[in-house]
Amino acid sequence: MARFAREAARLADASKFAEQARRAAEAAKHLDASKFAEQARRAAEAAKHLDVSKFAERARRAAEAAKHLDASKFAEQARRAAEAASRVDREQVVAEASRFTEQAQAAIRAAKNLAELERLRIEYLGRSSQLTEVKKLVRELPVEARPEVGGVANRASRDLEDAIKVRAEELAFIEREARLRAEAVDVTLPGVPYPKGSLHPSMRVVDEVVDFFVGLGYRVAEGPEVETDYYNFTALNIPPGHPARTMQDTFFLDEGLVLRTHTSPVQIRTMLSQEPPVYVVCPGRTYRRDSDPTHTPMFNQIEGLAVDRGITLSHLKGTLAAMARHVFGEDVKVRLRPSYFQFTEPSVELDVSCFVCGGSDPKCKVCKGAGWLEMLGAGMVDPAVLEEVGYDPEEYTGFAFGMGPDRMAMAKYGVADLRLFFEGDLRFLRQF
Ligand code: PHE
């Protein structure tokens, strides 16, 4: 048992002794010497265990006196012994308590982390701690010693609880600081470069054209790249066996499916899915069995279709002229040349004045001295096509056009070989 508790226990024993001595004094008053002698002997016995030699001596003397039956002297001795016993070492208990408290506080202040602090709390304030033991002993103390010793024990508890609270806050702060330091981000470190991609030149043109038409109120429509023969040809007024089919070097798949040779089937799909008016622009990939510097098996197209009451060829020309200015610059002019498509009547091709030389340079690399660039095929929607999708050609007219954004990008960016666009060579693509 630690010293603080041991001192308290000793005090408890002393109180037992004092009680014995008091009873002896009581007996002495009645001059019952033999009974008193017995009491005094017992007190002396108790005092021995206490190692309180002073009391023991006094008690022994009291017992001695009793033998001579000098009752009054004895009574005095016993009274003094009782008094001394009740005072026994109370100061020592208090001193021990404050020493204990100081040591414990020092240990608490030195606790290195919250786990160690919790261990100390259990050691000093837990159920089997010294303080708890002392508090249990208080009941056995002489009445006059109880408030003091009890107070000392309670104060020690309170002091230790306070010390633990203070240290816990300190440790929490220290641990938080350490964590923040460990997790600190060095905002001065150079960033990890994030490779930036760029748009494919064809897609830049697609975006510009689509943006332009969306700005006019057109809707974007898309269709499948694997198309039925019906949508790709028949519905567009190119029935099976028609010689016009040979113009388009088609990739045929099984069961009447083809890789679409143009985006025109999206016209049919759109008109079948809605009533007029129709204003759509349809970008997408198309396929033909073709490969040379200006043809690739896969290429892009942008289809346009406007069907409404009173649509005329001049609407077509005005719309496409505005589009050409948007993509190639404010100064470009357009011209229409007669052409032929099965699904438009009349059919035209649209040329754009050379946006590089404006027609003034016979050695111009872009227009090759022609002054004009072929841009797209277009025309008024053939009444047979309107009928095919259930529109009344007497009530509605429309125009349609189909352009090649890859060709437009070639002209715009001065690229001589279309195949470069689709080989995926980063040295080429990074230039855009
Ligand atoms: N689909 C035609 C082609 O690929 C272009 C076109 C579209 C012509 C719309 C007229 C109207 O050549």
SS3 content of the chain, % helix, strand, coil (to 5): 55, 15, 30
Per-residue pLDDT at 419? 87
How many A from CA of 402 to the centre of ligand 1? 4
How many A from CA of 394 to the centre of ligand 1? 23
Residue whose CA lies nearest to ligand 1 atom number 6: 402
How many A from CA of 195 to the centre of ligand 1? 39
How many A from CA of 302 to the centre of ligand 1? 9
Number of CB atoms found within 10 A of residue 363's CB: 7
In 229-367, at which residue ranges do the beta strands (DSSP E only) sit? 257-259, 278-287, 298-308, 334-341, 344-353
Alpha-carbon distance of 335 to 348, in angstroms, equals 10
Per-residue pLDDT at 405? 95
Is residue 378 within 8 Å of residue 402, measured between CB atoms?
yes
Is residue 333 within 8 Å of residue 317, measured between CB atoms?
no
The CB of 377 under 6 Å from ligand 1? The reply is yes
Picking from 320, 299, 295, 309, the residue whose alpha carbon sits closest to that of residue 379 is: 320
How many A from CA of 262 to the centre of ligand 1? 7
Alpha-carbon distance of 420 to 213, in angstroms, equals 28
Per-residue pLDDT at 358? 81
Residue whose CA lies nearest to ligand 1 atom number 2: 402
Torsion region of 37: left, alpha or beta (phi above 0 gives left; psi -120 to 50 gives alpha) = alpha
Tokens at 303, concatenated: 């289809």
How many A from CA of 257 to the centre of ligand 1? 20
Alpha-carbon distance of 210 to 215, in angstroms, equals 8
How many A from CA of 108 to the centre of ligand 1? 89
Per-residue pLDDT at 306? 98
Residue 275 CA, distance from chain mean position:
48
Per-residue pLDDT at 432? 85
Ligand 1 pocket check: which of 237, 262, 344, 386 to mutate, most ligand atoms within 8 Å of Cβ?
262
CATH superfamily, with its number, for domain 201-429: Bira Bifunctional Protein; Domain 2 (3.30.930.10)
The CB of 400 under 6 Å from ligand 1? The reply is yes
Amino acid present at 69: L
The CB of 378 under 6 Å from ligand 1? The reply is yes
Alpha-carbon distance of 342 to 337, in angstroms, equals 16
**Tens digit of pLDDT per residue, the chain (432 long)?**
467 777 777 777 776 776 777 676 666 666 556 666 666 666 666 665 555 556 666 666 666 666 665 556 666 666 666 666 555 566 777 777 888 889 999 999 999 999 999 999 999 998 888 888 888 877 777 677 788 888 888 888 999 999 999 999 999 999 899 999 999 888 898 888 888 888 999 999 999 999 999 999 999 999 999 999 999 999 999 998 887 776 668 898 988 899 999 999 999 999 999 999 999 999 999 999 888 877 889 999 999 999 999 999 999 999 999 999 999 889 889 999 999 999 999 999 999 998 888 888 898 877 888 899 888 999 999 999 999 999 999 999 999 999 999 989 988 888 888 889 999 898 998 888
The CB of 344 under 6 Å from ligand 1? The reply is yes
Per-position b or e across 79-99, b if 16+ CB within 10 A of its CB: bbbbebbbebbbeebbebbee
Ligand 1 pocket check: which of 249, 264, 298 to mutate, most ligand atoms within 8 Å of Cβ?
264
Nearest atom in ligand 1 to 378's CA: 10
Nearest atom in ligand 1 to 377's CA: 8
Entry pTM: 0.58
Tokens at 224, concatenated: 């499948």
How many A from CA of 52 to the centre of ligand 1? 123
Per-residue pLDDT at 186? 86
Per-residue pLDDT at 312? 97
The CB of 348 under 6 Å from ligand 1? The reply is no
Per-residue pLDDT at 1? 42
Alpha-carbon distance of 109 to 124, in angstroms, equals 13
How many A from CA of 240 to the centre of ligand 1? 18
Per-residue pLDDT at 5? 77
Alpha-carbon distance of 217 to 205, in angstroms, equals 19
The CB of 142 under 6 Å from ligand 1? The reply is no
How many A from CA of 343 to the centre of ligand 1? 8
Residue whose CA lies nearest to ligand 1 atom number 7: 402
Strand 219-220 with 278-287, pairing = parallel
**152-155: long-range contacts at Cβ-Cβ below 8 A with a sequence spacing of 24 or more?**
152/93, 152/94, 152/97, 152/98, 153/97, 155/97, 155/101
How many A from CA of 259 to the centre of ligand 1? 16
Number of CB atoms found within 10 A of residue 147's CB: 11
Q: Is 416 exposed, middle or buried (0-12, 13-18, 19+ CB in 10 A)?
A: exposed
Strand 226-228 with 298-308, pairing = unpaired
Alpha-carbon distance of 131 to 98, in angstroms, equals 12
Nearest atom in ligand 1 to 301's CA: 4
The CB of 342 under 6 Å from ligand 1? The reply is no
Residue whose CA lies nearest to ligand 1 atom number 12: 377
Q: In the chain, where are the structural domains located?
A: 3-156, 201-429
Nearest atom in ligand 1 to 261's CA: 4
Is residue 7 within 8 Å of residue 92, measured between CB atoms?
yes
The CB of 287 under 6 Å from ligand 1? The reply is no
